[in-house]
Amino acid sequence: MPVIKTVILSFGMSGRVFHAPFIELNPAFELVGIWERTHSASLEFYPHIKIYRSLDEILNDPSIELVIVNTPINTHYEYTKKVLIAGKHAVVEKAFTTTVEEAIELDELAISKNLQLSVFQNRRWDSDFTTVKKIIKDGWLGDIVEAEIHFDRFKTSLSPKLHKEIAGPGAGILNDLGPHLIDQALHLFGMPLAVYAELRITRPHSVVDDYFELLLTYSDKVVRLKAGYMVREPIPSYVIHGNKGSFLKSRADIQETALLANQKPNVSNWGREPKEEEGLLHTEKDGIVIRQKMPTELGNYAKYYALVEKAIREKTDMPVTAKEGINVMRIIESALKSHTLKKQILLPY
């Protein structure tokens, strides 16, 4: 089977940390090149690749099968549409687009051209989330009645990435960290019946939202999603309550930290959290109350690209489908509408 010749559209943090190492690691792929408009920073890490100076160079290269669209959010729709029209498969960073309408159009375009399209939601393969997922799946908590998922940071300064701090489509924490939490919630529980949201600006000089709280209402449970930059002492990032018990887990996946330190994801203990970060399970089984730490699953972002390869070669579903990306966008649009109108938004809207 020929390798999947792949190009990445940016070598910022996401290109260097979340995409290139795993494409390079997987023998089913060949990292052919990276789009760098003026610099050649990627050659320090991948001296064998080609530096593209324009998107047209990539689109006009018939050997390229897969393009990673990891540019600013407000460019996702334009670039992904061009990639698909050029007959190439696409992986698009979160947030998928800036509107539901754009996301639907890209999905329909990919289907019409028999191409694969996926939204990059690597946090599904975080060690903390995979552990939470397993605890729920194994029935330790019974029927879930309440869940809370956080992405907490302490960062009072503005980002040096100006596109994140200038008000406009795709800016703000709801579009930046929101897709992670929303995707995890939908992956665990499906689409809610309604959304209520509150967005705030908490940092000095910020002009975009840097705090949000979403309340997703289901027929049998509520799910709260929160993120902000003013959390110096974080509480557990996952708090799950069921009719049998509770599970509390920190956000402690080590993969991003290791990748930022230029560690390669090819070691046997990759994605192993420190033991002290194990989650707390308090439940009951066979009439016996259990309160104990639970082993953490390994995190492994490499699984995402393994499934992308399978989807392209065997025509299976992408690991995160465009339709799942559309649903995340529906929640984001509903949240923005809820915040503006100060009321709960029923789905589908």
Asked if 192 contacts 347 with a C-beta cutoff of 8 angstroms, the reply is: yes
169 and 207 in a single domain? The answer is yes
Name every residue whose Cβ is closer than 8 Å to that of residue 68 and which is 6 or more positions away in sequence. Answer: 6, 7, 8, 9, 15, 19, 23, 90, 91, 93, 120
Residue 324 resides in a domain: no
Residue 29 resides in a domain: yes
Q: How far apart are the first and last CA of the chain?
A: 44
CATH code for position 210: 3.30.360.10
Structure tokens at 299: 């995190």
Alpha helices in the chain (DSSP H): 13, 20-25, 55-59, 76-85, 100-112, 127-137, 162-165, 173-176, 178-189, 255-260, 302-314, 322-341
Provide the percentage of residues in the chain whose pLDDT is more than 70.
Answer: 100
Separation between Cα atoms, residue 312 and residue 198, nearest integer Å: 39
The neighbour count for residue 157, using CB atoms within 10 Å, is 10
99 and 151 in a single domain? The answer is no
Residue 149 resides in a domain: yes
Give the per-residue pLDDT at 168: 85
Separation between Cα atoms, residue 19 and residue 126, nearest integer Å: 15
Contacts by residues 75-83 (CB-CB < 8 Å, ≥ 24 positions apart): 76/102, 76/170, 77/102, 77/105, 77/106, 79/9, 79/55, 80/106, 80/117, 81/105, 81/106, 81/109, 82/55, 83/59
21 and 138 in a single domain? The answer is no
142 and 256 in a single domain? The answer is yes
Give the per-residue pLDDT at 162: 73
User: Does pTM top 0.85 for this prediction?
Assistant: yes
251 and 148 in a single domain? The answer is yes
CATH code for position 108: 3.40.50.720
66 and 215 in a single domain? The answer is no
Separation between Cα atoms, residue 130 and residue 136, nearest integer Å: 10
Give the per-residue pLDDT at 128: 98
110 and 173 in a single domain? The answer is no
Structure tokens at 19: 């995409």
29 and 90 in a single domain? The answer is yes
73 and 89 in a single domain? The answer is yes
Give the per-residue pLDDT at 195: 98
Beta bridge partners of 120: 93
Structure tokens at 196: 């209520």
Give the per-residue pLDDT at 213: 98
Residue 61 resides in a domain: yes
Asked if 347 contacts 125 with a C-beta cutoff of 8 angstroms, the reply is: no
Task: Show the domain range for 102.
Answer: 4-122+304-318
Contacts by residues 55-61 (CB-CB < 8 Å, ≥ 24 positions apart): 55/9, 55/79, 55/82, 58/7, 58/9, 58/33, 59/83, 59/86, 59/88, 60/86, 61/7, 61/32
144, amino acid identity: I
Residue 90 resides in a domain: yes
Separation between Cα atoms, residue 190 and residue 346, nearest integer Å: 15
53 and 188 in a single domain? The answer is no
Residue 213 resides in a domain: yes
142, amino acid identity: G
Give the per-residue pLDDT at 41: 95
Residue 135 resides in a domain: yes
Residue 323 resides in a domain: no
338 and 308 in a single domain? The answer is no
Structural domains of the chain, count: 2
Give the per-residue pLDDT at 349: 62
Give, for all 349 residues of the chain, the pLDDT tens digit.
Answer: 899 999 999 999 999 999 999 999 999 999 999 999 999 999 999 999 999 999 999 999 999 999 999 999 999 999 999 999 999 999 999 999 999 999 999 999 999 999 999 999 999 999 999 999 999 999 999 999 999 999 999 998 888 877 788 888 899 999 999 999 999 999 999 999 999 999 999 999 899 999 999 999 999 999 999 999 999 998 999 999 999 999 999 999 999 999 999 999 988 889 999 999 999 999 999 999 999 999 999 999 999 999 999 999 999 999 999 999 999 999 999 999 999 999 999 998 6
55 and 164 in a single domain? The answer is no
Asked if 259 contacts 253 with a C-beta cutoff of 8 angstroms, the reply is: no
Name every residue whose Cβ is closer than 8 Å to that of residue 65 and which is 6 or more positions away in sequence. Answer: 4, 5, 6, 88, 89, 312
Separation between Cα atoms, residue 177 and residue 183, nearest integer Å: 10
Structure tokens at 236: 């557990």
